[in-house]
């Protein structure tokens, strides 16, 4: 985790460019994601698209990670390694993507449903995504990091779900992970005071069952200890005076999904 850097307006625009490319990459994944496709073939789609757009996949070889996307299915929370697994009807799939363009990072994640998913699991995704936007609502000058965590936690727990504690959002810029850490739980009015120029990735990871997680034998994949599903949504945002500036986008993804 690198130090705390406040960004200039110009730097924020460069991060926006990278973050929008992440959204467009996830839209390419959205176009082809369906039952029967392997997670590795989704990774290939992303790798090629990022390269075609003169950018670098941020996750590839990051601390030794072998792929361009983290693809986490069902009980996998995050950091799933793409492979031979074929997606099945009823699966949920978190796809996390990062790119480097003009030396700046963008980072975003979206959880997809495959075919017919149980209504209570669809609701987990809905609540997780809502909790992200509730956190973004309080990501303004004068608020504190604890307000962001509190917004996620209160909404998730009110709906009967639990918040992963060990994994957090983060500052982002010329490094993928900068200070501050951005937990998805916390107390209002505590923690770092939010100021203009702070760019962070907010990423609720919400479990259907208990909050406990474990790391699989591959050293990367994080799963829920109770093997129940987990959902994950992430935006890169800049703290604003009256409202946060969302630098990444789900619009491209949702447009692609609506066309199917």
Query: Which two structure tokens, joined as six digits, stand for 119?
Result: 């209504």
- Contacts of residue 22, defined as CB under 8 A and 6 or more positions apart, other chains included, come to 97, 98, 99, 106, 107, 108, 236, 248
Of 237, 236, 210, 232, whose CA–CA distance to 221 is shortest? 232
Measured at the CA of 106, the angle between CA 102 and CA 112, to 5 degrees, comes to 145
Q: What is the pTM of this model?
A: 0.97
- pLDDT by residue, tens only, the chain of 260 residues: 677 999 999 999 999 999 999 999 999 999 999 999 999 999 999 999 999 999 999 999 999 999 999 999 999 999 999 999 999 999 999 999 999 999 999 999 999 999 999 999 999 999 999 999 999 999 999 999 999 999 999 999 999 999 999 999 999 999 999 999 999 999 999 999 999 999 999 999 999 999 999 999 999 999 999 999 999 999 999 999 999 999 999 999 999 999 97
Q: Which CATH architecture has domain 2-259?
A: Alpha-Beta Complex (3.90)
Contact of 212 with 39, CB cutoff 8 Å: no
């Amino acid at each position: 985790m690198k130090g705390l850097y406040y960004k200039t307006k110009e730097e924020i625009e460069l991060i926006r460019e990278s973050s929008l490319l992440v959204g467009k990459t996830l839209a390419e994944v959205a176009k082809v994601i369906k039952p029967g496709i392997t997670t590795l073939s989704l990774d290939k789609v992303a790798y090629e698209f990022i390269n075609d757009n003169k950018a670098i996949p941020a996750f590839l070889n990051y601390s030794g990670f072998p792929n361009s996307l983290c693809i986490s299915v069902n009980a996998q929370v995050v950091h799933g390694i793409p492979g031979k697994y074929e997606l099945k009807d009823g699966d949920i799939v978190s796809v996390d993507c990062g790119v480097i363009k003009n030396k700046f990072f963008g980072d975003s994640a979206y959880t997809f449903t495959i075919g017919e998913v149980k209504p209570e699991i669809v609701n987990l995704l809905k609540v997780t995504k809502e909790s992200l936007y509730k956190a973004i609502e309080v990501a303004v000058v004068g608020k504190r990091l604890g307000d962001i965590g509190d917004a996620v936690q209160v909404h998730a727990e009110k709906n009967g779900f639990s918040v992963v504690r060990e994994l957090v959002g983060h500052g982002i810029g010329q490094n993928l992970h900068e200070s501050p850490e951005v937990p998805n739980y916390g107390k209002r009015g505590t923690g770092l005071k939010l100021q203009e120029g702070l760019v962070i990735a907010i990423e609720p990871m919400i479990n259907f069952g208990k909050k406990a997680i474990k790391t699989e034998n591959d050293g990367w994949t994080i799963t829920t200890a109770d093997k129940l599903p987990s959902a994950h949504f992430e935006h890169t945002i800049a703290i604003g005076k009256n409202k946060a500036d969302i630098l990444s986008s789900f619009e491209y993804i949702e447009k692609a999904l609506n066309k199917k």
